[in-house]
Amino acid sequence: MTCYMRNMSWLFRVLEIENDAGTRHQVDRAIKSALGLSADAPCPDVQAYLKALSGEERFALIDAVEREIAE
């Protein structure tokens, strides 16, 4: 799994979903989509985007990921 996912356990708790291989892949795709990155974006790039998010942007990310995995 991608390197940044080990720091995302908070997102799984907030979304109240299992942190297993299947959902990690789903959340990875949803995060990259929400950030406007390609599905094959390298982990360090995604991690840099995530670190740069403001508090408000993090809430928007949560909403975007939740919508994406609900589909």
The answer to whether residue 1 scores a pLDDT higher than 70 is: no
Q: Are 20 and 55 in contact (CB under 8 A)?
A: no
Specify the long-range contacts of residues 52-55, CB closer than 8 Å, at least 24 apart.
none
pTM of the model: 0.88
Q: Are 62 and 14 in contact (CB under 8 A)?
A: yes
Give the pLDDT score at 3.
Answer: 84
Question: What is the tens place of the pLDDT at every residue in 4-61?
Answer: 888 899 999 999 999 999 899 999 999 999 999 999 999 999 999 999 999 999 999 9
Residue ranges covered by each domain of the chain: 3-70
DSSP string, 13-57: HHHT---SHHHHHHHHHHHHHHTT--TT--HHHHHHHHHH--HHH
pLDDT band at 2 (very low <50, low <70, confident <90, very high): low
